[in-house]
Amino acid sequence: MLPDYSLHTVNDRAGLEQVASLEIPIRPALILCDEQLIQAGRDPLLEKMRRMANNAPIMVMVANTPETLDIQWLQSGVRGCCPMQIEAEMLNKAVATLLAGETWLPRRLVARVIDNLFEAKDAIEHPPQKQDNRLATLTPREREVAQLVTAGLNNKLIARQLHVTERTVKAHLSNIFQKLNIENRLMLALALKPYFE
C-alpha cells in the first residue's frame, strides 16, 4: 500500500506553467502528467518542472501514441509512461516503482529501449570514419562540456566546474548535439567515451 500523499491538480498547460514558475519550489514526490499538457522531446516546460520539483520523477499518462513518441518522452527525462486506461492497481504499482527510483515502461517499449542501447553500443564499437572529423568541429569549450558529460556530470556540476551558467552549458550541449547529430546525453556519453578515456 502506498503512503498517503497530498494531491495538487493542474488542468491545463497555463496552470502547469504557473506552478513550474513558482519562486518557492515545491517538493513533490512524483509528477503524474497528462501527455496533452507537455510535449515529447525538448519541451522547456518539462525542464522547468524538473527544476521546480527538485528532479522528482515524472510519469506521463499517454493515449495510444506511437512508440517513437514514447521513446522521446524517455529521452527527455520522463521516468515512466503508462496508458490513460491503466487500472488503479497497476497505477499504484507504477507510482511505487517510480518512488523507489526505478522506471516504469509498457512492455512493448522495453524491447525498443534495449534495441536503442545496442545501437548505441554498436556506434561506439564501430564508429564511422567521419567521427573524428565531427569531433574536430567542436569548439574547445564544447569539447570540455562533452568530456564532462561523458564523465557523468550533470549540467549544474558542469557549470560550476567551468565557471559558467547552466544556461550556457545547455547552449553548448545543443550545439554539440546538432554538430554530432546526437539526440541526448546518454547517446553523447556512449559515443564519445572512447575518445575521452
Fold for 127-195, please state it. Arc Repressor Mutant, subunit A (1.10.10)
What does the pLDDT look like over 44-102, one tens digit per residue? Answer: 777 777 777 777 888 888 776 655 556 666 767 778 888 888 888 988 899 899 888 88
Question: Contact at 8 Å (CB) between 60 and 78?
Answer: yes
According to the model, what pLDDT value does residue 67 have?
59
> Per CATH, the architecture of 13-114 is what?
3-Layer(aba) Sandwich (3.40)
Residues 6+ apart with CB under 8 A from 71: 109, 112, 113, 116
Question: Quick one: residue 146, left, alpha or beta (phi over 0 = left, psi -120 to 50 = alpha)?
Answer: alpha
Question: Quick one: residue 100, left, alpha or beta (phi over 0 = left, psi -120 to 50 = alpha)?
Answer: alpha
Instruction: Enumerate the domain spans of the chain.
Output: 13-114, 127-195
> Cα(111)–Cα(106) distance, rounded to whole angstroms?
10
What does the pLDDT look like over 140-193, one tens digit per residue? Answer: 999 999 988 888 888 899 999 999 999 999 999 999 988 888 888 888 888 887
Secondary structure letter of residue 193 according to DSSP: G
According to the model, what pLDDT value does residue 131 have?
47
Secondary structure letter of residue 59 according to DSSP: E
Question: What's at 142, amino acid-wise?
Answer: E
Question: Contact at 8 Å (CB) between 63 and 37?
Answer: no
